[in-house]
Amino acid sequence: MTDREPLLDPVLDPAAMRKQYRAEGLAEQDLATHPMDQFARWFEDAARAALHGTVYEPNAMIVSTADAAGRPSSRTVLMKQFDTDGFVFYTNYNSRKARDLAENPHISLLFPWHPLARQVIVTGTAQRTGRDETAAYFRTRPHGSQLGAWASAQSTAIASRAELQAAYDDLASRYPEGEQVPVPPHWGGYRITPETIEFWQGRENRLHDRLRYTATPAGPWQTERLSP
């Protein structure tokens, strides 16, 4: 098969894949005044859908960053908090995403709730959370996840899976279940302050609803409809 030879099996051919969205629409008059209140409504819908097995990990979001030269990278992480001020996730401060954010604090988040034919797209800036906030969240993590934060030198090359497992096993022997694991100094949170938040609702014939909030210097959020 050449690089440009089409796939004959429609099951495997991306160009033949079609999904007709018939979901209920999103109208301007139904929007909350504040985008985080609108997010809370949609997140509740996604969380309830997860209880029925329709949505998997509703707090999963694609985080996109770019380095100082503008080279982008994306990965999926778990959002662990949201409030009026924005969104919070946690990571290794030596990871690629953290190195990008140290050079360029601009960031994009995407919540892909495909079974609901919904997406939420956020653009904004990232800032590290305080150590007290980081420590408070770290204490809520399962014991194994606390050890994992120490065992993994995230985004660096390692010789083998066995090397990673050996590092974890060594930590598990030093900090057995029930013993407090110290918070790694190289691990912590980022708070994303939104500049825009777009709510995307899939509609029939690709005439999707796209309503975007944009922060203004005066304070109130401005809303507008985008063409699909």
Give the torsion sign (CA, 125, 152, 157, 57).
negative
Q: From CA 216, how far away is CA 191, in angstroms rounded?
A: 19
The question of whether 206 is a catalytic residue gets the answer yes
Q: How far is the first Cα of the chain from the last one, in angstroms, to the nearest whole number? A: 35
Rounded distance between C-alpha atoms, residue 55 and residue 42, angstroms? 12
C-beta neighbour count of 2 within 10 angstroms = 5
Specify the residue for token string 């629409």.
25
Amino acid symbol at 151: A
Residue from 191, 203, 206, 212 carrying the catalytic annotation: 206
Distance of alpha carbon 150 from alpha carbon 200, whole angstroms: 38
Name residues whose C-beta falls within 8 Å of residue 195's C-beta, 6 or more positions apart in sequence.
123, 124, 125, 214, 215
User: How far apart are the C-alpha atoms of 146 and 171, rounded to whole Å?
Assistant: 10
Q: Which residues are catalytic?
A: 206
